[in-house]
């Protein structure tokens, strides 16, 4: 099973879909059994969790979903003997399998679109026919990249760190809500804040007498001239910055 996992943000989004008023009338046990969920899973979800989705999904993430207390105070595994659960890691991996199946199912229900967005940030596409999450192209998910970028920003000490972190958070949440243009604007502000902060620090603490330029294009060139970027990095940043300009954001025409 892939190491990529459904984020806690997406797990909350799953519970919101399942708990939607319109969906509460569904017989989840019947639907899941029809789609090849094992009978012991249905029984555990019903008897132990009473279809409380937050409890069920967290229990699955921990791997404790597959165990019950016996009459003498010990624990007993509820899965068939042919399923190899020998360690906590085995149980957590098996739990992730069911979380991903349930996530794919939830995207087929009313209000599942926000969940689709959240799963895309996790690095997944959805096969709604087979109830399966499919890893998107790329080595890591947007969630992992976001976490990595957040850690880098916190450790960097660039000016206005809190502003940069807020742009990261807002860009991600707006995308998950389907607000593409506001998300792009936040991403643009994020890049600008980072470049501004790096430029200011380089100009202040370096041995460079060149006055700090104003336009973003000039600041990128400045950082190349003082040795912070190499020419290839400069070209990539300029190309990326151009994508976020208003003239490059496509808007679907209105059909009259």
DSSP-based three-state secondary structure for 252: coil
- Distance separating alpha carbons of residues 220 and 203, to the nearest angstrom: 13
Rounded-to-integer distance, Cα 63 and Cα 93, Å: 8
Mean pLDDT, the chain cut into blocks of 10 residues (256 residues total): 81 96 92 96 96 96 91 84 88 96 96 91 92 78 62 75 80 70 75 77 68 74 80 78 55 37
Q: Could you count the other beta carbons within 10 Å of the beta carbon of residue 150?
A: 14
C-alpha angle with apex 184: 179 to 120, nearest 5 degrees? 65
Phi, psi (degrees; rounded to nearest 5) at 80: -60, 155
pTM recorded for the entire structure: 0.61
- Give the distance from CA 187 to its chain's centroid: 16
Euclidean distance between CA atoms 102 and 96, whole angstroms:
10
Give the number of other Cβ atoms within 10 Å of residue 120's Cβ. 18
For residue 69, count CB atoms less than 10 angstroms from its CB and return exposed for 0-12, middle for 13-18, buried for 19 or more.
exposed
Strand partners, 77: 67
Question: Which two tokens mark 82?
Answer: 């042919």
Which 3 state secondary structure label does DSSP give 75?
strand
> Residue 39 in contact with residue 72, Cβ under 8 Å?
no
User: Can you give the pLDDT at residue 58?
Assistant: 97
Distance of CA 72 to the CA centre of its chain: 42
pLDDT confidence of residue 249: 42
- Note whether 65 and 42 are within 8 A (CB): no
Phi, psi of 105 (to 5 degrees): -60, -45
Interatomic CA distance for residues 193 and 200, integer angstroms: 10
d(CA 236, CA 95) in angstroms, rounded, equals 40
pLDDT score of 187: 74
pLDDT at 251: 40
pLDDT of residue 166: 83
pLDDT of residue 82: 86
């Amino acid at each position: 099973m892939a190491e990529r996992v459904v984020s806690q943000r997406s797990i909350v989004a799953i519970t919101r879909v399942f708990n939607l008023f319109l969906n509460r009338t569904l017989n989840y046990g019947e639907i899941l059994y029809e789609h090849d969920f094992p009978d012991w899973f249905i029984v555990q979800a019903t008897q132990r969790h009473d279809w409380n989705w937050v409890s069920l999904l967290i229990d699955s993430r921990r791997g404790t979903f597959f165990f019950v207390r016996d009459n003498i105070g010990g624990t007993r595994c509820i899965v068939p003997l042919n399923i190899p659960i020998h360690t906590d890691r085995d149980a957590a991996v098996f739990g992730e399998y069911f979380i991903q199946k349930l996530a794919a199912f939830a995207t087929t229900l009313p209000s599942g679109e926000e969940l689709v967005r959240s799963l895309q940030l996790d690095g997944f596409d959805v096969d709604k026919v087979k109830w399966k999450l499919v890893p998107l192209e790329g080595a890591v998910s947007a969630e992992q990249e976001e976490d990595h970028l957040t850690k880098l920003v916190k450790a960097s000490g660039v000016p206005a760190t809190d502003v940069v972190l807020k742009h990261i958070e807002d860009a991600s949440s707006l995308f998950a809500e389907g607000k593409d243009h506001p998300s792009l604007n936040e991403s643009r502000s994020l890049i600008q804040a980072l470049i501004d902060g790096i430029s200011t620090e380089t100009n202040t603490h370096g041995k460079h007498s060149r006055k700090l330029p104003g336009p973003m294009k000039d600041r990128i060139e400045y950082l190349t001239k003082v040795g912070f970027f190499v020419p290839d990095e400069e070209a990539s940043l300029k190309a990326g910055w151009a994508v976020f300009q208003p003239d490059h954001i496509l808007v679907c025409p209105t059909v009259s």
